[in-house]
C-alpha cells in the first residue's frame, strides 16, 4: 500500500489553530487589542535590512528545536542569546514563538525586545488575525506571513492589518507559484525559504533563483539551510544581502565570532 507523505506544515497549522482557539478562550481579542501600546518603541525591521549594497545583514534566530532537526539547543535563555547576537552584529533578531514544535513562546519575544536594541521579528505560523494583534501587544516589530499557510484572502488581510498597526511584514515564499500569489500585496520584504516546509528538502540555490524574479524595490531575505560563510558568499554574489539564520548560529560554539565571520567583519 502506498503511504502518504506526512505534511508537517499542515500539521503545525492545524495545531496552531487549536492553540489560538484556547488562547481566545483565555483572553478575547478585545483584551489583546487593549494591551497594544500605541506609544511602544518601534524599531524598523525594514530599515535594518535596507543597508548599503556591500552589507551582509544577518537576522539571527532563536530556535531551540525544529521538526526537521529535533533538539538544537533546548536550554537557551532567549534574552542572553539576543545580547550575544547583537554583539556579533546581527541586524535583527528572529524569535520562534511556536510552542509545540519549536519550544518557543511570546515570553521569549518580550524578553528579547527588552534585552536588545534590535528590531524583533515574531517567527510563527500566523493563521489568524488574533496572532497579529497578539504580536503587537507583545512588542514585536515585525511578523512573518508564510504564503504556504494562508489563502490569498488571508494573506492580503493579515498583511494590511499588520501594516496598519505598525508592524513590518516578512512575506515568505518557496516557489514561483507562491511568488505569483503575493503579487497583489506587493510586499517590500520577501523571504525566500530554501527549505520546502512540506518535505524538508533544502537547497541554498532556491533563494538565489527566486530572488532574481523579484521587483527591484523588493528586498529578498534568504531563509533556511545557510550554514557556512560560503553559503552566504554564494548568495551575496547573486545580489542577496539579507539572511535569516537559525540552526547554524544556535549550534555555533562562538556565536559572536560566527556572526561576524558570516558578515565578513572582524
Minimum distance, C-beta of residue 62 to ligand LARABZUK, in the bound complex (Å)? 10
Q: Is 8 in the site for ligand LARABZUK (CB under 6 A)?
A: yes
Helices (H), the chain: 8-26, 29-35, 45-49, 78-88, 99-102, 106-115, 129-137, 152-164, 176-181, 205-211, 229-237, 247-251, 255-263
Q: Is 226 in the site for ligand LARABZUK (CB under 6 A)?
A: yes
Q: Is 68 in the site for ligand LARABZUK (CB under 6 A)?
A: yes
Contacts of 107 (CB under 8 A, 6+ apart): none
Q: Which of 48, 76, 50, 49 is nearest to 62 (CA)?
A: 76
Q: Which of 245, 255, 258, 262 binds ligand LARABZUK (CB under 6 A)?
A: 245
Strands 70-71 and 65-66: antiparallel
Separation of first and last alpha carbons in the chain: 56
Q: Which of 158, 225, 242, 262 binds ligand LARABZUK (CB under 6 A)?
A: 225
Nearer to ligand LARABZUK, 32 or 56 (CB): 56
Distance CA(173)–CA(255), nearest Å, equals 28
Q: Is 63 in the site for ligand LARABZUK (CB under 6 A)?
A: yes
Nearer to ligand LARABZUK, 32 or 221 (CB): 221
Residues in contact with ligand LARABZUK, shown as a per-residue x/- string from 69 to 98 under the rule CB under 6 A: x-----------------------------
Radius of gyration of the chain (CA): 17
Q: Hey, which residues does 59 pair with through a beta bridge? A: 92, 244
Q: Is 189 in the site for ligand LARABZUK (CB under 6 A)?
A: no
Q: Which of 124, 246, 255, 258 binds ligand LARABZUK (CB under 6 A)?
A: 246
Residue ranges of E strands in 52-163: 57-62, 65-66, 70-71, 92-96, 120-123, 142-146
Placement of cell 542569546 in the chain: 81
Which range of residues in 20-28, 33-41, 64-72, 251-259 is near ligand LARABZUK by CB under 6 A? Answer: 64-72
Residue 101: CB atoms within 10 Å:
17
Q: Which of 111, 206, 224, 241 binds ligand LARABZUK (CB under 6 A)?
A: 224
Residues that bind ligand LARABZUK (CB under 6 A): 8-9, 61, 63, 66-69, 193, 197, 223-226, 244-248
Amino acid at each position: 500500500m502506498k503511504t502518504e507523505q506526512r505534511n508537517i506544515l499542515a500539521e503545525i497549522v492545524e495545531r496552531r489553530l487549536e492553540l489560538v482557539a484556547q488562547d481566545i478562550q483565555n483572553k478575547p481579542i478585545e483584551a489583546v487589542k487593549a494591551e497594544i501600546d500605541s506609544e511602544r518603541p518601534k524599531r524598523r525591521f525594514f530599515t535594518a535590512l535596507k543597508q548599503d549594497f556591500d552589507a551582509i545583514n544577518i537576522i539571527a534566530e532563536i530556535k531551540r528545536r525544529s521538526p526537521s532537526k529535533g533538539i538544537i539547543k533546548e536550554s537557551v535563555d532567549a534574552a542572553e542569546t539576543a545580547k550575544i547576537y547583537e554583539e556579533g552584529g546581527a541586524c535583527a533578531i528572529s524569535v520562534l514563538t511556536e510552542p509545540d514544535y519549536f519550544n518557543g513562546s511570546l515570553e521569549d519575544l518580550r524578553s528579547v525586545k527588552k534585552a536588545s536594541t534590535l528590531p524583533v521579528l515574531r517567527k510563527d505560523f500566523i493563521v489568524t488575525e488574533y496572532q497579529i494583534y497578539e504580536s503587537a501587544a507583545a512588542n514585536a516589530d515585525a511578523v512573518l506571513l508564510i504564503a504556504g499557510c494562508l489563502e490569498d484572502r488571508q494573506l492580503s488581510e493579515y498583511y494590511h492589518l499588520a501594516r496598519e498597526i505598525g508592524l513590518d511584514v516578512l512575506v515568505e515564499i518557496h516557489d514561483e507559484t507562491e511568488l505569483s500569489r503575493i503579487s497583489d500585496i506587493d510586499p517590500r520584504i520577501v523571504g525566500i525559504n530554501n527549505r520546502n516546509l512540506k518535505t524538508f528538502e533544502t537547497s541554498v540555490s532556491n533563494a538565489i533563483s527566486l530572488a532574481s524574479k523579484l521587483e527591484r524595490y523588493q528586498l529578498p531575505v534568504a531563509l533556511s539551510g545557510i550554514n557556512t560563510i560560503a553559503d552566504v558568499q554564494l548568495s551575496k554574489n547573486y545580489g542577496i544581502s539579507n539572511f535569516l539564520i537559525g540552526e547554524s548560529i544556535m549550534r555555533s560554539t562562538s556565536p559572536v565570532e560566527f556572526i561576524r565571520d558570516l558578515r565578513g567583519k572582524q
